[in-house]
Amino acid sequence: MVQPMTAETTMGAEGELERFRWTVTDYHRMVEVGLLDADARVELIDGEIVRMAPIGLLHADCVNRIGVRLARAVGDDAYLSFGNPVRLSQYDEPQPDLMLLAPRSSGYSQHAPGPEDVLLAIEVSDSTLRTDLRIKVPLYARTGVAEVWVIDVENERLLAFDQLEASTYVRQREAKAGTALSPHRLPTLSIAVADIFNWRGG
């Protein structure tokens, strides 16, 4: 039996519209009953269903490049996830372009990863830089994700955010071609920024 949806209502000031916040449970139930296409490019952010930007060629190529580098470098130290959801809170289930997750013998087939499982979240920004910096990065910080990287495709740079204090990242690093970065929780893994933007094969 399909259970009723239980969106939270936030009362507005007099004369304003009320705001409904969908829970992750509601969000998945919409797919079950056919209100949302299972393949729809959407994610749940602060209880709102948000349309994701189309995947352009630059975006896809950058995701593939960094994914190859991570797959070669990470070994058994982490679980590499491409474009899959992470359940950050009752009202948040974004889909980072890439994640490094804490390894588990049984994987993540029984329940979705949470913020405590994310060693590194990566957002590739070709047309979404403003949104990623103003909404996604604070969301990851607020829900306790250890580190997030934003790949700024247009400016060919990597922005890294880590060291959580009071639900805020207090350290930001910027890296461009000629430099490399390591995730805070995987210090032996080093990614050369030039390799993200210049395919060298091999």
36 and 67 fall within a common domain: no
17 and 101 fall within a common domain: no
62 and 151 fall within a common domain: yes
Q: H-helix or E-strand containing 176? A: strand 168-176
Whole-angstrom distance, CA of residue 19 vs CA of residue 15: 13
101 and 181 fall within a common domain: yes
Residue 146 belongs to a domain with what CATH number?
Answer: 3.90.1570.10
34 and 61 fall within a common domain: no
Using DSSP's 3-state secondary structure scheme, residue 159 falls into: strand
pLDDT at 200: 43
Which residue ranges of the chain lie beneath pLDDT 70? 1-16, 199-202
pLDDT at 151: 96
19 and 101 fall within a common domain: no
For residues 178 and 194, is the Cβ–Cβ distance under 8 A?
Answer: yes
pLDDT at 13: 57
> What residue numbers bound the domain in which 15 lies?
8-40
126 and 152 fall within a common domain: yes
Whole-angstrom distance, CA of residue 84 vs CA of residue 101: 11
Using DSSP's 3-state secondary structure scheme, residue 78 falls into: coil
Q: What is the pLDDT of residues 56-86, one digit of tens each?
A: 888 999 999 999 999 989 988 999 999 999 9
Question: Global pTM?
Answer: 0.88
pLDDT at 11: 54
For residues 93 and 43, is the Cβ–Cβ distance under 8 A?
Answer: yes
Question: What is the share, in percent, of the chain residues with pLDDT greater than 90?
Answer: 71
Whole-angstrom distance, CA of residue 96 vs CA of residue 145: 12
pLDDT at 105: 82
- Tokens representing 156 are 């060919």
Q: What angle do CA 53, 57, 63 make, to 5 degrees?
A: 80
30 and 68 fall within a common domain: no
Give me the number of domains the chain comprises. Answer: 2
29 and 115 fall within a common domain: no
Using DSSP's 3-state secondary structure scheme, residue 161 falls into: strand
For strand 180-181 and strand 168-176, is the pairing parallel, antiparallel, or unpaired?
unpaired
